[in-house]
């Protein structure tokens, strides 16, 4: 392959060549049979377009807003763990790329740079993703630190009471996370001589009793808007609106949690219909092309998040690689808009796509 990739998928191979097998497997893998991992991508492929012609598309405006923050395109950086395993600059490199692309970065709770390091590195718009450990004071401390350091929203990941079974990590005896933000707060040492040490660590720490009423607790300790990540059903979408979240992220955690969960793009519309515009809906999982971004927008998402493509860009080419990944998706999205007759994101409608179910009827 030429050294300059021409699309986001080509970054994956470069990342594979650049990374030790244990880390590549950790980043790329999904749960169990990896059915959902494939489906997240395949389900996008089953959606086709209903492009409109002879509309003035000489200027295309890709910009949008999320929670009032203007971004250059509806593409946001998803929270993913431990960027220093991909590149020595870790999340600082990712944040700098986000700043130069004028988009939002969601910093993972499991980051390998601290909240303070990322905040000091650049002026990217930052949201903070939260896991809640059995020791609730840890979440409270991190929320305060995120607030103090100018993070604009919290993303509560709701789909991880325990870690999904990732068989490559079990085989590789994947290491415990190096959670920089927890230094001095919590010991990340775990006892497990077999299987994934990461999984053993997560299962010892995560508060599996976390429930909807705890969103109230979270609201009581912060003034930041709270997005809930990991919603896949209309029931939970309605629940999320009832407890007063500021937004919903339709996500199956990049197919790393419950295998045979639906592809996220296939349930986006169910959530959109249930929510009826009361809060914004974002989605992630399997976005690899600008056409995927367009399809998600047409089905009602306000923006998409990208997980693995960012890591692959980071592993292959550091900050520049993350920037290229974003630009590639953005350029493809812009072309898709032009070829579909949409001069701005507001012009993208449900009528611009046809789902498989619609094709069969
Ligand atoms: C994740 N994801 C994730 N989500 C989260 O809320 N907190 C986290 O720390 C992580 N860590 C993480 C690590 C790795 C290696 C991956 C691949 C994913 C899930 C992530 O936010 C997002 O939901 C998916 O990555 C989206 O799917 P794609 O874009 O990777 O297909």
Distance of alpha carbon 220 from alpha carbon 122, whole angstroms: 29
pLDDT band for position 179 (cuts 50, 70, 90): confident
Out of 31, 45, 79, mutate this one to test ligand 1's pocket (max ligand atoms within 8 Å of CB): namely 79
Alpha carbon nearest to ligand 1 atom 5, residue? 79
Taking residues 60-67, what's their average pLDDT?
98
Q: pLDDT of 274-287, one tens digit each?
A: 999 999 999 999 99
Q: Which two tokens stand for residue 90?
A: 């870790």
CB 325 within 8 A of CB 331: no
CA distances to 63, 64, 252, 310 from 72, in Å:
4, 7, 25, 17
| Ligand 1 first shell, C-beta below 6 A | 26-27, 40, 78-81, 108-110, 129, 157, 229, 251, 253-254, 256, 284-287, 306-308, 311
Residue with the bigger pLDDT between 48 and 357: it is 48
| Residues classed as catalytic | 253
Q: pLDDT of 13-36, one tens digit each?
A: 999 999 999 999 999 999 999 999
Q: Which two tokens stand for residue 177?
A: 């996370």
DSSP string, 202-266: HHHHB-TT--THHHHHHHHH--S-EEEEEE-SHHHHHHHHHTT-SEEEE--GGGTSSTTPPPHHH
Taking residues 242-268, what's their average pLDDT?
98
ipTM confidence score: 1.00
What is the model's pLDDT at position 200? 87
| Among candidate residues 253, 83, 93, the one with its CA nearest the CA of residue 180 | 83
Q: pLDDT of 181-207, one tens digit each?
A: 998 887 767 766 678 888 888 888 899
Q: pLDDT of 327-338, one tens digit each?
A: 999 999 999 999
The upper half-sphere exposure of residue 39, i.e. CA atoms within 13 Å in the direction of its Cβ, equals 20
Q: How many whole angstroms from 78 Cα to the centroid of ligand 1?
A: 6
Q: Is the pLDDT of residue 2 over 60?
A: no
Distance of alpha carbon 135 from alpha carbon 207, whole angstroms: 8
Alpha carbon nearest to ligand 1 atom 3, residue? 80
Out of 30, 41, 78, mutate this one to test ligand 1's pocket (max ligand atoms within 8 Å of CB): namely 78
- Mutual angle of helices 8-18 and 308-340, in 10-degree steps: 170
What is the model's pLDDT at position 32? 98
Q: Is the pLDDT of residue 349 over 90?
A: yes
Taking residues 302-311, what's their average pLDDT?
98
Q: Which two tokens stand for residue 348?
A: 């993208």
Distance of alpha carbon 86 from alpha carbon 314, whole angstroms: 6
Distance of alpha carbon 180 from alpha carbon 63, whole angstroms: 34
pTM score:
0.97
What is the model's pLDDT at position 193? 67
Q: Average per-residue pLDDT in the chain?
A: 96
Q: Which two tokens stand for residue 23?
A: 């880390």
Through-space distance between the first and last CA atoms of the chain, rounded to whole angstroms: 41
What is the model's pLDDT at position 191? 65
CB 112 within 8 A of CB 92: no
């Amino acid at each position: 392959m030429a050294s300059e990739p021409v699309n986001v998928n080509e970054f994956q191979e470069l990342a594979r060549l650049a990374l030790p097998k244990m880390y590549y497997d950790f980043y790329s893998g999904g749960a169990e049979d990896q059915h959902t991992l494939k489906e997240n991508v395949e389900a996008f492929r089953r959606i086709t377009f209903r492009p409109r012609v002879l509309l003035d598309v000489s200027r295309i405006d890709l910009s949008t807003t999320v929670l009032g923050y203007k971004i250059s395109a509806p593409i946001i950086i998803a929270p993913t763990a431990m960027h220093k395993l991909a590149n020595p600059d870790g999340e600082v490199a990712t944040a700098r790329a986000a700043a130069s692309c004028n988009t939002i970065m969601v910093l993972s709770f499991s980051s390998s740079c601290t909240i303070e390091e990322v905040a000091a590195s650049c002026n990217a718009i930052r949201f903070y993703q939260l896991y809640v450990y059995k020791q609730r004071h840890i979440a409270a401390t991190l929320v305060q630190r995120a607030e103090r350091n100018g993070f604009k929203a919290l993303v509560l990941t709701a789909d991880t009471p325990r870690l999904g079974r990732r068989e490559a990590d079990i085989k590789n005896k994947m290491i415990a996370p190096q959670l920089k933000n927890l230094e001095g707060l919590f010991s990340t040492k775990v006892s497990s001589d077999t299987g994934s040490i990461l999984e053993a660590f997560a299962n010892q720490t995560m508060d599996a009793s976390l429930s909807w009423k705890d969103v109230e607790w979270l609201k009581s300790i912060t003034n930041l808007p709270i997005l809930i990540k990991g919603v896949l059903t209309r029931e939970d979408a309605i629940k999320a609106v009832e407890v007063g979240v500021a937004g919903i992220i339709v996500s199956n955690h990049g197919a790393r949690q419950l295998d045979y969960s639906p592809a996220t793009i296939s349930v986006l519309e169910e959530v959109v219909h249930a929510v009826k515009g009361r809060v914004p809906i974002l989605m992630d999982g399997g976005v690899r092309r600008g056409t995927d971004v367009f399809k998600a927008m047409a089905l009602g998402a306000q923006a998409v998040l990208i997980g693995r493509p960012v890591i692959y860009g980071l592993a292959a080419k550091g900050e520049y690689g993350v920037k290229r990944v974003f630009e590639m998706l953005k350029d493809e999205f812009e072309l898709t808009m032009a070829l579909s007759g949409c001069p701005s994101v507001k012009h993208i409608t449900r009528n611009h796509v046809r789902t498989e179910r619609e094709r069969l009827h």
